Amino acid sequence: MTPAIRPLIAGNWKMHGTSSSLPELKAVASGFTNAAGEGAEGVVCVPATLLGRAGEILAASPVAAGGQDCHPAPNGAHTGDIAAEMLADCGARYVIVGHSERRTDHHESDADVASKAEAAWRAGLIAIICVGETKAQREAGDTLSVLSGQIAGSVPAGATAGNTVIAYEPVWAIGTGLTPTPEDVAKAHAHLRAELKKKLGDEANAMRILYGGSVKPSNAAELLSLLNVDGALIGGASLVAADFLAIASAVKSK
């Protein structure tokens, strides 16, 4: 981890969860500080259908509620979309933008992601901006150049450590059970820090960079021990409170 940066353990439920899943959130809320320690922060990004109730459950806890996407506009004729202001109204403090599944399934460009990040800030939310290479890009040796392009295009000029978190998720590792080697993760995160410094100056030194992509209790301690890895963005393991808390506990020993 990066010295003096407060670690963040973030969960992304994706298109999972109904009312019957809410007890898992309650367990996360009640167990987080004991698992991760006083110095860590948590967030769980739930489907929009659960966000209002999640906001109520997590309101007095060290774990924040978050959304999984937002529209760039504050309102308008955008059937099926959700404005950042609506997320905030439900109790969200964070929102994920630019997840690879959105970039792929909905053809979101870097410019789209940047506009959503700015919308998040407008609503008082913290944007978790996702970046990461595909398997083909990795095999072609293009990982670092892809990350450079995504930082240049997806991170608006107004980004600060207070309004933005970066999440590195190699696309080929999401939900596959595969993870890069610790050396590869460290190299990618160091590169991201350097690119952020080029863009944002000294502000980049305090910005959190999360690792995501098949993070689980068995590999969390190794990943979270790496320099410039300031937390995790967790997919499937975040659906089970015991797994989420086990990953969070890896922070406590660092």
Q: Specify the amino acid at residue 223.
A: L
Burial 120-158 (b: 16+ CB within 10 A, else e): bbbbebbbbbbbbbbeebbeeeebbebbbebbebbbbee
**Cα–Cα separations (whole angstroms), residue 56 to 26, 27, 38, 130, 233:** 10, 14, 21, 26, 22
> What are the residue numbers of the active site?
99, 169
- Contact assessment for residue 251 and residue 34, using Cβ atoms and an 8 Å cutoff: no
Q: Specify the amino acid at residue 221.
A: A
- Separation between Cα atoms, residue 60 and residue 65, nearest integer Å: 11
Two structure tokens written together for 214 = 């098949």
CB under 8 Å to 116, separation ≥6 — which residues? 69, 70, 71, 72, 84, 95, 97, 98, 127
- Contact assessment for residue 208 and residue 7, using Cβ atoms and an 8 Å cutoff: yes
Indicate the DSSP class of residue 1: -
Two structure tokens written together for 8 = 């963040």
